[in-house]
Amino acid sequence: MVGLIGIVLSLILLMYLAYKGFSVIVLAPLLALFAVAWSGLSDQLLGFYSQVFMTGLGGYIIKYFPLFLLGAVFGKLMEDSGSAQTIANFFVEKLGHHRAMLSIVLSCAILTYGGVSLFVVGFAVFPIASALFKELGIPKRLIPAAIMLGALTFTMTALPGTPAIQNAIPMPFFDTDLYAAPGLGVLASIFILITGMWWLNRRVKKADLSLEGYGNHLESHHEQNPTSAKPSLMVAFIPIFIVIVSNLVLTKLILPSLDTAYLATDQFGNTSLNSVIGLWAIICALVLACLSIIVLNWKSIVDIKNSIQQGVSSSFLPIFNTASEVGYGSVIASLAGFIILRDFLVGIAPNNPLISEAIVINVLAGITGSASGGLSIALNTMGETYKDLAFQHGISLELMHRVASMASGALDSLPHNGAVITIITLCSLTHKQSYYDMFIVAVIIPLIALSGVITLGTIFGSF
């Protein structure tokens, strides 16, 4: 019990200090070792750091660094070619000003589903949203919630095929691909989009009645690499089309047809195609998409080398933040106090591991303030347990995958979440002004959708 108290204190400090702006890269090892010392293992601190923390951190980087790297480069090329702005402008023009909120949400959704990172999406869409909302008298404080709904909810965790890291992490644990439980994922996505839009439109109407208007704000502007001309809509959409289509074709047709028996040898880690096919498909799809942007926009991107370098540089901090949280989780999971916590959480719904899985991942994502961090910690420590429980109870591994992915994208969006802080800062707003609506669309509504998926999956199975 003493060890469990140390773990809880460590988690509280991690959440509080991360919210205060301290680097997770520094906090994670310090607070992991704090929990070790509290457990009475002070003489083993260096061993826990080098053999447990760093092994967990390194393992995550080895597995997922290509996704962070290629995703960041792809996003930067989409931004500097003007493609992201072209797509956002298209939705605003086609849907019209009377559907301003929907146009912003769909712009973010299309870009993120096509593989563009949240941060690039925010920088691309915010100036458009700001000008549009100001013209129509829609409160600026609603922009962060609109970006969150489009970029950080259904296109991150629920929509089948999304290349988001939160959809990729469960694959090697459950031998699944990005299209796991497609029917349930589509239903959840539709629910989140419709309900989120209902909420945001309701808030706009309420603001109209009170004559709130856009508000008085000092605007900030994000500097981009200059482009000589914006690409046409077709040219802008081609890279996104390539990501979506090539990902599907590689996953379902090309990669399964290859002779991959060599993967079962010691040289390749005695693995199987099912464990790596999803990652291979995303990597290949993003490489093809990056090349297509360069070819199609060779004259539009002023400095291709600089764009690629900026994309590469911007990938380092996100992956090291998340990997540090995974290393932290590896240490916590190795302590005796964690066994007590794990058994308690698993025992909440002993006959339905879907419920237990959803609770564990939500709690860890909420504590760490990271969907991918909480998901990785949960599956690294309990992935085999949930896989065994799924077999015992006759539950589809595809359903386990979809629930795991969706569970990571709810309580992660608490106030200390990095994306929440980034979006609010980008919009030059405060938590007090904007967070309430962000909480509704990115926490409450996804939790309701997750409950619906668990219920339907329990009754009808995976589809």
Q: What are phi and psi of 209, to 5 degrees?
A: -65, -35
Listed range (140-154, 328-342, 435-449) with the worst mean pLDDT: 328-342
The residue that leads in pLDDT, 301 or 156, is: 156
Percentage of the chain lying above the pLDDT 90 cut: 54
- The answer to whether residue 226 scores a pLDDT higher than 60 is no
Asked whether residue 5 is domain-assigned, the answer is no
Give bridge partners of residue 227 from the DSSP assignment. Answer: 301
Helical spans, DSSP H, in 140-297: 143-151, 154-157, 165-168, 171-174, 182-209, 233-249, 273-296
Residue 11 lies in a domain: no
16 found inside a domain: no
User: For position 228, what pLDDT does the model report?
Assistant: 53
Q: Is residue 217 included in any domain, yes or no?
A: no
Q: How many domains does the chain have?
A: 1
Is residue 227 predicted with pLDDT exceeding 90? no
pLDDT confidence band for 235 (50 / 70 / 90): very high
Residue 10 lies in a domain: no
> Residue 246 corresponds to which amino acid?
S
- DSSP string computed for 152-183: TTHHHHTSTT---HHHHTTHHHHT--TTSSHH
Q: What does the pLDDT read at residue 218?
A: 61
Per-residue pLDDT at 95 exceeds 50: yes
Residue 157's domain comprises: 25-212+232-460
Structure tokens at 172: 């090697």
Q: Rounded mean pLDDT of the chain?
A: 89
Going by C-alpha positions, the residue among 289, 284, 169 that lies closest to residue 241 is 289
In degrees, to the nearest 5, what angle opens at C-alpha 245 toward C-alphas 240 and 247?
Answer: 95
- pTM (2 decimals)? 0.80
- Short-list 421, 326, 450, 337, CA closest to 379: 326
Determine contact, residues 149/441, Cβ cutoff 8 Å. Answer: yes
What single-letter amino acid sits at 451?
S
The pLDDT assigned to 221 comes to 47
The pLDDT of 402-430, averaged and rounded, is 88
Q: Is residue 425 part of a domain?
A: yes
Q: Is residue 226 part of a domain?
A: no
Across 99-118, average pLDDT: 89
Q: Is 237 within a domain?
A: yes
Round to whole Å and give the CA distance between 93 and 226.
23
Amino acid at 374: G
pLDDT of 415 over the 90 cut: no
Q: Which residue has the higher pLDDT, 68 or 210?
A: 210
